[in-house]
């Protein structure tokens, strides 16, 4: 592993444009359970029944009680971990330009990352179904379910539900930065859910080196990612950042 981290540091230190693609795995170590995979929320509930836009519009009270209320409680307590702060350090070292994230927890921004493309929106905000006003999730009082806007309209997370489109601007810009980068860091995602899953392929097709940080092999490993670093972001990122910093400080 040490040799692989050193190789990755060499590549990052010499890179001209680096993009990171992150998924649920980077936030698991902040206490946020994933939606998919082992231990994920969808093992205990049907996503079509609680996370589809039609289910929400049909019965917002039920969806708030079964899913969104507990998500708010978890995310209110969550804080960035060493995986998130490691990406901030790479940005400060001039080694990372943009993060594309599938997460809705806002932890990249909380950690200090300045350019984050949110594929699925951000749970830090709620949006009124009637007037469109955005309200901070942290300030919502759960005494009333579903919570309401000052206009009386029902509030919904400013995230992408099943059955809704990825924000076009996020998709187009993600494709553009993926095609332009010469290194992509893939952290905490198996990259199997489209359209985010296409970003490593776009980068690879345009000559980028894919460095993968995941605790277990994924469909990307050895096929798209030419340099897998097997481990969680909390354990790998501080070592990787230290190795990059050492190279940049060398004469």
pLDDT digits (tens, 9 = 90+) for 158-194: 999 989 988 999 999 999 999 999 999 999 998 777 8
**Cα distance between residue 87 and residue 99, in whole Å:** 9
List every span in the chain annotated with CATH 3.40.50.1220: 1-32+80-120+165-251
Topology (CATH) of 33-77+124-159: SIR2/SIRT2 'Small Domain' (3.30.1600)
- pLDDT tens figures, 28-41: 999 887 766 565 56
Q: Is residue 251 over pLDDT 50?
A: no
In sequence order, the 6+-apart residues with CB closer than 8 A to the CB of 94 are none
Q: What does each C-alpha distance from 148 to 13, 90, 154, 158 come to in angstroms?
A: 49, 40, 5, 14
**pLDDT tier, 116 (very low <50, low <70, confident <90, very high otherwise):** very high
Scanning the chain, the segments in alpha helix (DSSP H) are 2-14, 25-28, 47-50, 53-58, 60-63, 69-77, 82-92, 107-111, 168-180, 198-205, 233-249
pLDDT of residue 41: 62
Q: What is the mean pLDDT of the segment spanning 229-233?
A: 92
Our measurement of the distance from residue 127's CA atom to the centroid of its chain's CA atoms, rounded to an integer in Å, reads 20
Q: If we measure between CA atoms, which residue out of 100, 96, 105 comes closest to residue 191?
A: 100
**Cβ contact 17:208 at 8 Å:** no
Give the mean pLDDT of 213-238: 90
CATH of 1-32+80-120+165-251, one of 3.40.50.1220, 3.90.470.20, 3.40.50.300, 3.40.1050.10: 3.40.50.1220
Average pLDDT along the chain: 90
Angle at the Cα of 75 (from 114 to 190), degrees rounded to 5? 70
For the question of residue 52 being annotated catalytic, the response is no
Where exactly does CATH 3.30.1600.10 map onto the chain? 33-77+124-159
Closest by alpha carbon to 24, among 15, 14, 36, 16? 36
Look at residues 81, 57, 60, 236 and name the one whose alpha carbon lies nearest to residue 145.
60
Are the C-beta atoms of 101 and 119 separated by less than 8 Å? yes
**Is residue 239 within 8 Å of residue 232, measured between CB atoms?**
no
CA–CA separation, 192 and 200 (whole Å):
11
């Amino acid at each position: 592993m040490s040799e692989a981290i050193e190789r990755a540091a060499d590549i990052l230190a010499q890179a001209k444009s680096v993009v990171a693609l992150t998924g649920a795995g980077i936030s698991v170590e902040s206490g946020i359970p994933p939606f998919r995979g082992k231990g994920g929320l969808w093992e205990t509930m049907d996503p079509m029944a609680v996370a589809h836009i039609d289910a929400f519009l049909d019965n917002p009270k039920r969806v708030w009680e079964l899913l969104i209320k507990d998500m708010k409680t978890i995310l209110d307590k969550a804080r960035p971990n060493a995986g998130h702060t490691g990406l901030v350090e790479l940005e400060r070292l001039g080694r990372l330009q943009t993060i594309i994230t599938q997460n809705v927890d806002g932890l990249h921004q909380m950690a200090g990352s300045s350019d984050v493309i949110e594929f699925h929106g951000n749970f830090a905000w709620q949006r009124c179904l009637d007037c469109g006003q955005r309200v901070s999730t942290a300030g919502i009082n759960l005494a009333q379910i579903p919570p309401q806007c000052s206009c009386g309209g029902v509030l919904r997370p400013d995230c992408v539900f099943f059955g809704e489109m990825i924000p076009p601007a996020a998709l187009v810009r993600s494709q553009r930065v993926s095609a332009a980068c010469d290194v992509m860091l893939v952290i905490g995602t198996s990259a199997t859910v489209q359209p985010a899953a296409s970003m490593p392929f776009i980068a690879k097709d345009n000559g980028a080196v894919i460095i993968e940080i995941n605790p277990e092999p994924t469909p990307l490993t050895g096929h798209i990612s030419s340099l897998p670093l097997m481990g969680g972001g909390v354990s790998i990122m501080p070592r990787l950042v230290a190795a990059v910093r050492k190279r940049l400080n060398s004469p």
